[in-house]
């Protein structure tokens, strides 16, 4: 299995979703701005966090407006978009934290040393700017301990900025509230590095609380948590997590469910059926896990459900869990032979 990366890879990728009041068309516009061209170096892709100023501009444009329908609101936004009102950042921050966050929007879009310089500048304006600590953890920290220190400071900065009332009244709505995102980023990245550093109980507790604050899980916390629970061997917590998102149809979900069943029951008809369902969702995963396909040297910048890129990301993050489960890869090999020989048919979900 030498060709397979032995453990989790880097920071989890973040998926930016529109504000609840923003139109679907606006989301498509933003996605097109960040879409990768074939063969493009991932390092040249704009940091999607830099686009969040657009959501702030949308909210500001909608404030005080009384629309009769969602169609009227969408038409208003489309007119603003066509007029170029959302094409250039405007410096409108009035508080130190708002001004610091505006600096961070520039930092996310900068290159090289300018990124960290701007992060330090943001902290000079406001020590409560959680995003500044997130960037410094990613690009200025020299070791795991310093990454943890930056991110812990970022979490505490986010807590100060949001205030206790936000946590009490808006639990369940986080991320949809733009101001919560820097805190959510800092805490998720902190959970990730804590797990890698062996502080697993703390990491899992952070991820579970992030899902309490934002059960819609725009960040993909549940995907990371599923792998962590498998690695910890907490099948009861994993079963609960999987059941909380019954319509999830990703490689992480279906392959995690299959491996969980195998660990709980060994090879049974139900476990076999779960693995076949996972194969049907993404047929590339077993090719990498069974060394039938060479693992790429570079991780993809984007992925789609069921495609090869999703398989690369899943295997890069979770190969070690399969390798450390006695008999799991042999079981996969046996089921894959049978699956591979079956005539193509209609795909079904488990």
289 and 330 fall within a common domain: yes
Total number of domains constituting the chain: 3
Residues 123 and 210 both lie in one domain: yes
What span, in angstroms and rounded, lies between the C-alpha atoms of 191 and 201?
10
| Contacts of 140 by beta carbon, 8 Å cutoff, 6+ apart | 116, 119, 146, 150
Q: Distance between CA 244 and CA 108 in Å, rounded? A: 33
For residues 180 and 161, give the distance between their C-alpha atoms in angstroms, rounded to a whole number. 9
Q: Could you give the CA distance from residue 2 to residue 139 in angstroms, rounded to a whole number? A: 29
User: Mean pLDDT over residues 100-125, rounded?
Assistant: 95
Provide the H-helix boundaries in the chain. Answer: 24-33, 52-62, 70-82, 96-109, 113-125, 130-139, 144-162, 164-169, 181-196, 200-213, 221-232, 235-244, 251-265, 269-281, 285-289, 308-323, 328-341
Report yes or no on 327 lying in a domain: yes
Q: Pick from 217, 235, 268: which residue ends a domain?
A: 217
pLDDT at 117 over 90: yes
Question: Are 127 and 154 contained in the same domain?
Answer: yes
Q: Is 223 part of a structural domain of the chain?
A: no
Q: Give the CATH number, domain containing residue 107.
A: 1.25.40
Q: How far apart are CA 165 and CA 261, in angstroms?
A: 41
Q: Is residue 226 assigned to a domain?
A: no
**pLDDT computed for residue 63 by the predictor:** 75
Cα 149 to Cα 44: distance, rounded to the nearest angstrom: 28
Domain residue limits at 47: 17-32+43-90
Question: Model confidence at 301, in pLDDT bands (50, 70, 90)?
Answer: confident
Q: Is residue 211 part of a domain?
A: yes
Secondary structure (3-state) at 40: coil
**Are 83 and 109 members of one domain?**
no
> Considering only 42-56, 161-175, 242-256, which range has the smallest mean pLDDT?
42-56
The pLDDT assigned to 341 comes to 64
Among candidate residues 50, 60, 42, 52, the one with its CA nearest the CA of residue 17: 52
Question: Is 140 part of a structural domain of the chain?
Answer: yes
Least confident piece of the model among 45-54, 66-75, 147-156, 282-291: 45-54
**Residue 61's pLDDT is what?**
74
| Per-residue confidence (pLDDT) for residue 307, from 0 to 100 | 93
Q: Whose structure tokens read 């933003």?
A: 30
Rounded to 5°, angle at Cα 198 from 197 and 203 = 90
Per the CB < 8 A criterion, the answer to whether 46 and 109 are in contact is yes
- For residues 14 and 40, what is the distance between their CA atoms, to the nearest angstrom? 19
Same domain, 6 and 48: no
* pLDDT value, residue 88: 66
Answer whether residue 231 is part of any domain.
no
- Cα torsion angle, 212, 200, 315, 285, sign: negative
CA neighbor of 350 nearest in space, from 238, 226, 255: 255
- Give the tens place of pLDDT for each residue, 10-30: 332 222 222 222 322 323 333
Cβ-contact 213, 184 below 8 angstroms: yes
- The rounded distance, in Å, linking the Cα atoms of 100 and 120 is 10
Does the residue 147 lie in any domain? Answer: yes
247-266 residue pLDDT tens:
999 999 999 999 999 999 99
Whole-model pTM above 0.75? yes
Q: 3-state DSSP call for residue 299? A: coil
**CA 179/CA 131 separation, integer angstroms:** 11
Average pLDDT of the chain, as a whole number: 83
Does 207 lie in the same domain as 118? yes
Predicted confidence (pLDDT) at residue 44 exceeds the cutoff of 60: no
The answer on 212 and 108 residing in a single domain is yes
pLDDT (tens digit, 9 = 90+) per residue, 179-227? Answer: 999 999 999 999 999 999 999 999 999 999 999 999 999 999 999 999 9
The verdict on 73 and 103 lying in the same domain is no
In terms of domains, do 295 and 336 share one? Answer: yes
Residue 280 and residue 205 share a domain:
no
Same domain as 155, residue 203:
yes
Residue 235 lies in a domain: no
270 and 330 in a single domain? The answer is yes
């Amino acid at each position: 299995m030498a060709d397979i990366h032995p453990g989790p890879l880097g920071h989890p990728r973040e998926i930016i979703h529109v504000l609840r009041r923003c139109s679907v068309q606006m989301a498509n516009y933003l996605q097109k701005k960040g879409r990768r061209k074939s063969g493009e170096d991932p390092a040249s892709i704009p940091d999607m966090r830099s686009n969040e100023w657009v959501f702030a501009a949308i909210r500001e444009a909608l404030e005080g407006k009384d629309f009769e329908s969602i169609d009227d609101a969408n038409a208003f936004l489309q007119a603003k978009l066509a007029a170029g009102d959302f094409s250039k950042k405007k410096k409108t921050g009035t508080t130190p934290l708002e001004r610091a966050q505006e600096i961070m929007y520039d930092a996310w879009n900068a290159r090289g040393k300018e990124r960290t310089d701007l992060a330090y500048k943001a902290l000079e304006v406001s020590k409560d700017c959680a995003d500044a600590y997130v960037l410094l953890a990613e690009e200025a920290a020299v070791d795991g301990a310093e990454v943890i220190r930056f991110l812990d400071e970022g979490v505490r900065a986010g807590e100060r900025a949001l205030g206790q009332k936000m946590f009490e009244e808006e639990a369940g709505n986080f991320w949809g509230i733009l101001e919560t995102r820097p805190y959510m980023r800092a805490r998720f990245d902190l959970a990730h590095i804590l797990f890698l550093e062996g502080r697993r109980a703390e990491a899992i507790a952070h991820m579970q609380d992030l899902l309490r604050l934002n059960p819609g899980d725009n960040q993909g916390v549940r995907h990371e948590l599923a792998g962590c629970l498998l690695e910890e061997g907490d099948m009861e917590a994993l079963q609960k997590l999987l059941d909380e998102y019954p319509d999830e149809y990703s490689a992480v979900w279906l392959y995690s469910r299959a491996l969980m069943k195998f660990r709980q029951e060994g090879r049974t008809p139900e476990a076999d059926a779960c693995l076949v369902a996972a194969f049907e969702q993404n047929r590339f995963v077993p090719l990498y896990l069974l060394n039938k396909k060479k693992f790429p040297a570079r991780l993809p910048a984007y992925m789609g459900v069921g495609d090869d890129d999703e398989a690369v990301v899943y295997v890069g993050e979770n190969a070690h869990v399969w390798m450390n489960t006695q008999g799991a890869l042999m079981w996969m090999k046996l089921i894959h032979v049978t699956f591979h020989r079956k005539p193509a048919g209609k795909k079904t979900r488990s």
